[in-house]
Amino acid sequence: MSLSTLSHPAAAAAAAGSGKSLSPAVPAGHSVRLPKTRPHVPAAVSAATAAVHADSAEDRVSALSQVSGVLGSQWGDEGKGKLVDVLAPRFDIVARCQGGANAGHTIYNAEGKKFALHLVPSGILHEGTLCVVGNGAVIHVPGFFGEIDGLESNGVRCDGRILVSDRAHLLFDLHQVVDGLREAELENSFIGTTKRGIGPCYSSKVTRNGLRVCDLRHMDTFGDKLDVLFKDAASRFQGFEYSKSMLKEEVERYKRFAERLEPFIADTVHVLNESIQQKKKILVEGGQATMLDIDFGTYPFVTSSSPSAGGICTGLGIAPRVVGDLIGVVKAYTSRVGSGPFPTELFGEEGDRLRKAGMEFGTTTGRPRRCGWLDVVALKYCCQINGFSSLNLTKLDVLSGMSEIKVGVSYNQADGQKLQSFPGDLDTLEQVQVNYEVLPGWQSDISSIRSYNELPQAARRYVERIEELVGVPVHYIGVGPGRDALIYK
Ligand code: GDP
Ligand code: IMO
Ligand code: MG
């Protein structure tokens, strides 16, 4: 894929033909390579999309809206990264709009080499794709550089291919320490966070004493602003160590980071909106999932950002009317890492079996994930909130070999009354009794099947029953972790 090497950001717009100069607030002179606009109907099938067999599947992917999104529909780890990696060659830009390095997105390149991404968008393996970390994300700069170094040392060129919003909030080591201290304080009711400092960083943002990426351009006042954060933490937590020399050291460290980060910094609100005007295609990559959303999830056992559709507009600065197709990623069963209610959870041997078959261990923390049956009540709730145009059912291969498969289809309250919607009240949720539908399983290995009609009848029945229950079509079916292990329905 050929690229236009452009001077960032003003020349980028000029070369793209707009003729308008971009934000004078962002100094030009750094080189960023913006991809040429992707054709809506690709000339050839790339290696990444070799799994597209039917013409209709090819057309379907090409027909995805100019701004599309891939969002988690359960409690995270549904396989969002894989779908983003597969779709990325059809998009000019892949953008993260929320969350931070609490995300762990596992993807494989064409040679089957594994990459675990945290903040860097999952479009990074495709040379022609520009990756954007939007204003709604939180950035731990040393972690971000660590990720880039890891990618570069594995032959993935990142230089000029990643933009970080000047409005995004900085996540400091101190936020990570506070995350740990808060969890320790909660004792038995801890959230089970990733300890990546996410909650404390978003708290600083909302308290309005947070530091943003653009503050790295004002090192003269950086120390004073950081001092406020340190003092805040020290006055709140007895175990929080703080001294003037620590502040000085941190400021010196950030002076070096500021220099290295400068070429990545951009007014991404401007870049994205200009790109939309220039008819470039943007794929939004969600981190976490709706059931972990600060508003819609199982509060307080949630993350601190908005991983559902609303987070796209606030986290990127793009208008609701430009957001088109949203694809909900859903595992063929359910997993959850961390504490909180999980109505269809399986314990003992049954849970172990799914965990082992699905290799359900966290990408970010390595923690064993709790496993259970698919929860259609929660899934329907997610579909309502996000308005998914289609679903990607992942890890269907993991269910092979089961004599029967259960699907949670409704909840009864403690008094036996059927609930009409997913409850917001955790006390209610913790007491629900799940009503299951039992479907026949299939015995054969489906991991090398690439055509929907070749799936065992019971597997097709499972997929179609989910479509019926949820009312949203399943367009993509994952049958393995690799790029090619995808069936287009
Ligand atoms: P994400 O956070 O939503 O991107 O998902 P994770 O990467 O944290 O977890 C999903 C895990 O399942 C990763 O190890 C993927 O490689 C793997 N995976 C994704 N899709 C499939 C699939 O269809 N089948 C199997 N067996 N593994 C998959
Ligand atoms: P991806 O993008 C699964 C969970 C944590 C904890 C809660 C709050 O890979 O799907 P936080 O560190 O965000 O304050 O933790 O949210 N959590 C995730 N679970 N996948 C994730 O990301 C998660 N990010 C956070 O386990 O329960
Ligand atoms: Mg994950």
pLDDT digits (tens, 9 = 90+) for 310-321: 999 999 999 999
Per DSSP, what are the bridge partners of residue 139? 170
pLDDT digits (tens, 9 = 90+) for 52-88: 454 577 788 999 999 999 999 999 999 999 999 999 9
How far apart, in whole angstroms, are the C-alpha atoms of residue 35 and residue 151? Answer: 20
Residue identifier of the C-alpha nearest atom 6 of ligand 2: 193
Q: What is the number of the ligand 1 atom nearest to the C-alpha of 78? A: 3
pLDDT digits (tens, 9 = 90+) for 188-231: 899 999 999 999 999 999 999 999 999 999 999 999 999 999 99
Q: What is the number of the ligand 1 atom nearest to the C-alpha of 364? A: 8
CB atoms near residue 234 (< 10 Å):
16
Of 8, 92, 105, 325, the active-site residue reads 105
Annotation says 352 is catalytic: no
The reported pTM is 0.91
Span 8-30, mean pLDDT?
36
Would the CB of 407 count as within 6 Å of ligand 1?
no
Of 8, 77, 215, 484, the active-site residue reads 77
Report the pLDDT value the prediction gives residue 371, as an integer from 0 to 100.
98
Residue 357 pLDDT exceeds 90: yes
Query: Both tokens of residue 412?
Result: 């009864």
- pLDDT confidence of 6, banded at 50, 70, 90? very low
How far apart, in whole angstroms, are the C-alpha atoms of residue 428 and residue 413? Answer: 7
How far apart, in whole angstroms, are the C-alpha atoms of residue 61 and residue 475? Answer: 10
Q: What is the DSSP string of 428-444?
A: HHHH-EEEEEEEE---S
Report the pLDDT value the prediction gives residue 362, as an integer from 0 to 100.
85
CB neighbours of 470 closer than 8 A, spacing ≥ 6?
A: 376, 379, 380, 383, 391
Report the pLDDT value the prediction gives residue 163, as an integer from 0 to 100.
98
Residue identifier of the C-alpha nearest atom 28 of ligand 1: 481
How far apart, in whole angstroms, are the C-alpha atoms of residue 118 and residue 365? Answer: 11
Binding residues for IMP: 77-80, 102-105, 194, 208, 288, 303, 367
pLDDT averaged over every residue in the chain: 91
- Looking at residue 147, the DSSP 8-state letter turns out to be H
CA 194 – ligand 2 centroid, Å: 6
How far apart, in whole angstroms, are the C-alpha atoms of residue 342 and residue 352? Answer: 16
How far apart, in whole angstroms, are the C-alpha atoms of residue 202 and residue 193? Answer: 14
* H helix or E strand, kind and range, residue 350: helix 348-357
Residue 144 pLDDT exceeds 50: yes
How far apart, in whole angstroms, are the C-alpha atoms of residue 237 and residue 235? Answer: 6
pLDDT digits (tens, 9 = 90+) for 462-486: 999 999 999 999 999 999 999 999 9
In percent, the amount of the chain with pLDDT more than 70 equals 89
Cα–Cα nearest to 107, from 92, 118, 99: 118
What separation, in Å, do the N-terminal and C-terminal C-alpha atoms of the chain show?
Answer: 28
Burial class (CB in 10 A: 0-12, 13-18, 19+), 239: exposed
